[in-house]
Amino acid sequence: MNRETIIRIVVVSILAMLILFAYPRVLPLLFPPVEKPAPNKTGTSEPAQTQSPPKIEAPQVPGEVPAKTEEKPEQPAVTAGTLRAVGAPEGQAPKPVVLGSAACGSGFDLEAEITPQGSAVRRLTLSKDRFLKTVEDRHLPTCDRAAMDLVPADAPRPALRIAELRVWLQGVTGPLAVDGLSDAVWRVAEADPTRAVLEADVLDAKDRVLLAVRRTYALAKSKAPAGGTAPPAYDMDMRIEFLRADPSVEKVAYVLEGPPPLPREDPRGDQRQAVVGVRGDAGVEIKRSGPEKKEPAEPLTDVGGSRIQWIGEVERYFAVIAIPGKVTDAGFAPQKGDFYAVAAKVFHDEGTDAGKPLWLPGVRLQTREEPLGAEGAVRHDYLVFAGPKDQRLLETYYGGLGLPDLIQWSTCCSFAFLGPLVALTAWISKMMVMLLDAFHAVVLNYGVAIIVLVILLRIALHPVTRWSTKSMMKMQRLAPKMQELRERYANDKERLNQEMMKFTREEGFSPLSGCLPMFVQMPIWIGLYGALQSAIQLRQAAFLPASWLPQGSVFSTFLQDLAQPDALVRWSTPLQLPGQTIPLLGSVIAWIQGALGTSAGITTFNILPILMAVTMFLQQRLTPTAPTATNQQADQQKKMMGFMMIFMLLLLYNAQAGLCLYIFTSSLLGFAEMRYLRTRYQAAEAAAGAGGGAGVARAEPKPPPPPKKKPLGTSGRDRSIAERLQSWMQKKMDAAKGQEEQKKRK
């Protein structure tokens, strides 16, 4: 392997790793994705109560003719200060209502706390039977663990409050805004563990009741189908009703505020997003908006149009989604005209990240103007999903709404020219999850499942490794002849390249053979990285039993979460590397700290990446030096490989423990396999050389048969990839040389 080939391989490896790990952070800053305007078409959707998660199909409205794209109606000017909201009498503030239960063995999968102030959802908590909040809780009994909050009680704002209400009255131009609806303390008309009804009134300046507003929340237990296990009930029904109390009320419209940003789970990266589902001709397209490091130029941004399917907030593994429409046991049954959303608006709340300002995304749903009609009532139903982004769960019950696409299997950005790459990496990640789930069903441990996957892949790749090792050994044996050619044609580079290509072709080895096993496994690394990044079943998947580790010590979290660094030692005070304020050098030190921890500092010592780097170094020591390299070039190659080892250590030091476990196990088995093959090949060569007995001179090897002449018109498909690459390079060199000669002649 000559110097140019080594440099090319190193560059390709670095670029591949940068695409895998650094691309999602760097490229979006250079080329922010452009939101495409969604078509503004009429559509449908309908509302109701759910028992257990029903299967939701894509809405199909019989006899509906798609309308042409229409402009979003301009909202008339609002006159404020003339209407106000009144709830419970002063001094009789009701207590919050708790629906469901997060306690172990309660039969509920969700607990919702409804606050009378604004009749909003103050807290959404998952059952202790389902998920751990932190890996430290693994040492505790199930009933003593902390519950997993999707909307914590101390969130900046409650979820699903009515941020704005507009009322149209007879004889009044334009709508009137209702003051204080989200701040008023509503009356609790009904409350039990599965249902809550809250009410408020809208009064005019003369204290006449014009409109009654009622909100109903319903939460059901998990129900087991006949002969099966209980499906999780991660959803809650929400109904908003407007009841006419005065004949002057004609129409209403309101703005529903989505949930606040979910708690950040991974300190290495902020994956919180506000999401909006917009139905188009090809299905539901998801619009995403993440945190802003700088203050956003526009506080509100319109998203989508009159075909808004849902709004919500997502994090790495969980989501809270509000779906307008009625859902029954029979499925999603929309009626014509039931798409009552006309727009979604994304805004940002100011927050902090490691002491620096950060604007977290939120989303609001704006409804159309609804006439109260002869019945004097408007009713809007919502299904609120609050649970894990589980592929099978979302596909089974919410596939028609596009919720399975909330899972981002690929970390690449959604640029159009990267579509095939995103689809390929997502497919590989899904296949990795399927394989690991299958192995986990047998060994009952995802860490052991990763090791089983490594063993099976090493067995499958053994022919490739054997051929690669044999080819490298042959290259090392032929090093003297390669050196002889180099000395013979030292003054004629073009002839030297031709003779080298001819020699390698006649001897039947490829300079790229030593790198083939690594390149074959790189898609596996990418797929496993995406799987650990997105699959909910791999969240907090432990490799070592918690009983093996001392509770409350610095070692208590070691290999307790394969989706996080292994954390052999953990400390609470972040460690900052010195020198980050130095010009130019400080940016390099900051990058190293980011690789070793987070921007807030280093809080763990990880052992698996170090073991991985050691095994990669030992495996590299067994790799023969390229016969095409001089002593100086060989030294440069060793330095380059040493730099690559350090670079890989920094790049993967803070990576998931599952990925490091895979690479470490694969490198360890590869080292043992290569050593065995080298020993066996050397013994075979020694036996062949001593075939005539002691003192018998070794017979000269037979000259290789002359290469077969290819007929004219051969396309070259029967040549190896290395031969085609060398031929292409030779043509380029000849063309460049010809251009230089023409310039000299002129």
51, 127, 218, 332, 536 from 222: Cα distances, Å: 8, 12, 13, 19, 20
Across residues 11-20, what is the average pLDDT?
53
Q: Which amino acid is at 433?
A: V
Across residues 697-711, what is the average pLDDT?
48
3-class secondary structure per residue, 60-72: CCCCCCCCCCCCC
Give a yes or no: residue 128 inside a domain. yes
Say whether both 399 and 462 belong to one domain: no
254, 342, 347, 469 from 364: Cα distances, Å: 10, 11, 8, 61
Q: Which position has the higher pLDDT, 427 or 412?
A: 427
Least confident of 5-9, 454-458, 462-466: 5-9
At residue 72, does pLDDT exceed 70?
A: no
Q: Which position has the higher pLDDT, 304 or 128?
A: 128
Q: How confident is the model at residue 65 (pLDDT cuts 50, 70, 90)?
A: very low
At residue 689, does pLDDT exceed 90?
A: no
Say whether both 445 and 356 belong to one domain: no
Say whether both 381 and 439 belong to one domain: no
Q: Mark 86-109 as b/e (b = at least 16 C-beta within 10 Å).
A: bbbeeeeebeebbbbbbeeeeebb
Say whether both 449 and 397 belong to one domain: no
Give a yes or no: residue 29 inside a domain. no
CATH, residue 401: 2.70.98.90
Say whether both 443 and 339 belong to one domain: no
Q: Encode pLDDT of 317-358 as tens digits.
A: 999 999 987 655 555 544 444 567 888 999 988 877 767 788
3-state secondary structure of 737: helix
pLDDT of residue 55: 56
Q: How confident is the model at residue 71 (pLDDT cuts 50, 70, 90)?
A: very low
Give a yes or no: residue 722 inside a domain. no
Say whether both 660 and 551 belong to one domain: yes
Give the separation between CA 564 and CA 570, rounded to whole angstroms. 12
Q: Which position has the higher pLDDT, 355 or 44?
A: 355
At residue 417, does pLDDT exceed 60?
A: no
Give a yes or no: residue 133 inside a domain. yes
Q: Which position has the higher pLDDT, 704 or 209?
A: 209
Across residues 496-503, what is the average pLDDT?
77
| Nearest Cα residue to 291 out of 540, 494, 28 | 28
Q: How confident is the model at residue 631 (pLDDT cuts 50, 70, 90)?
A: low
* Global pTM value: 0.78
Strands 148-151 and 120-126, by their bridges, are antiparallel
pLDDT of residue 357: 82
Q: How confident is the model at residue 66 (pLDDT cuts 50, 70, 90)?
A: very low
Give a yes or no: residue 580 inside a domain. no
At residue 370, does pLDDT exceed 70?
A: yes
Give a yes or no: residue 554 inside a domain. yes
Say whether both 189 and 334 belong to one domain: yes
Considering 640, 665, 686, which residue would you say is the last residue of a domain? 686
Say whether both 561 and 532 belong to one domain: yes
Q: Which position has the higher pLDDT, 685 or 201?
A: 201
Strand partners, 242: 213, 378
pLDDT of residue 510: 60
Say whether both 497 and 451 belong to one domain: yes
**C-alpha distance across the termini of the chain, in Å:** 38
Considering 655, 686, 717, which residue would you say is the last residue of a domain? 686
At residue 69, does pLDDT exceed 50?
A: no
pLDDT of residue 404: 92
Say whether both 94 and 217 belong to one domain: yes
pLDDT of residue 211: 95
- The CA angle 136-138-142, to the nearest 5 degrees, is 125
Q: Encode pLDDT of 181-204 as tens digits.
A: 999 999 999 999 999 999 999 999
Q: How confident is the model at residue 581 (pLDDT cuts 50, 70, 90)?
A: confident
Say whether both 614 and 646 belong to one domain: yes
At residue 606, does pLDDT exceed 90?
A: yes
pLDDT of residue 471: 73
Across residues 691-713, what is the average pLDDT?
47
Q: Which position has the higher pLDDT, 410 or 684?
A: 684
Across residues 728-739, what is the average pLDDT?
71
Q: Which position has the higher pLDDT, 455 or 299?
A: 455
Give me the chain's average pLDDT, please: 78
Total domain count, the chain: 2
Give a yes or no: residue 614 inside a domain. yes
**What domain range includes position 561?**
427-568+606-686
Residue linked to tokens 């563990």: 193
Give a yes or no: residue 2 inside a domain. no
Q: Which position has the higher pLDDT, 451 or 710?
A: 451
Considering 669, 686, 703, which residue would you say is the last residue of a domain? 686
Say whether both 548 and 504 belong to one domain: yes
